Amino acid sequence: MTTINQRLEAVLDEMRDVFARMDAGSVPRLAGSIIAAKRIFLYGAGRTGLVLQAFAMRLAHLGLEAHYVGQLSAPPATSSDLFVVALAVGTLPTGDALAAAARAAGAKVAVITARPQRVVGADLVVHLPAQIMADPMTSVLPLGSPFELALSLLCDLTVAELMLRLGRSNDDLAKRHTNLL
């Protein structure tokens, strides 16, 4: 029987392995695409959607115009915008349809995936080589949690990169944090 600390170490080792296998230019390229966009639209299904909602919030804290697809206040996408979608298996009917709609509006499309070979029509593909539900279950984490955790880390690392590039501090982000709690 393993202890909680042993399981935690296994998860941390797994995340280190994911990011060691990831292209070192992925975060800078994603950050560059975000900076180049007028607005950023984000979408993911299920738990990946929750991660991307949190990412949209952090982008707003940076002072960027970010919208999670499906929110009532989201404006239409245009050719000045970026659509970021998490597709763990590289394709998903809803995500694919939204990416096609974004492309039809002229927006750039960035896909974050564990299966880059299955992605079609993206301007940027970020390969996040974490275990997904379609893989043999080797992680101590359940189902697709390894991908979701790695996605959360990727998003926060991208925010940290954006903070450096935009010259923003935690104090700057805190000024844009909600006060209606």
Contact between 105 and 74 (Cβ < 8 Å): no
Structure tokens at 22: 């990831």
Check if 148 is active-site. Answer: yes
Nearest to 165 by CA among 31, 23, 29: 31
Neighbouring CB atoms inside 10 A of 85's CB total: 27
Query: Which of 9, 14, 65, 148 is the catalytic position?
Result: 148
Contact between 84 and 52 (Cβ < 8 Å): yes
Catalytic positions: 148
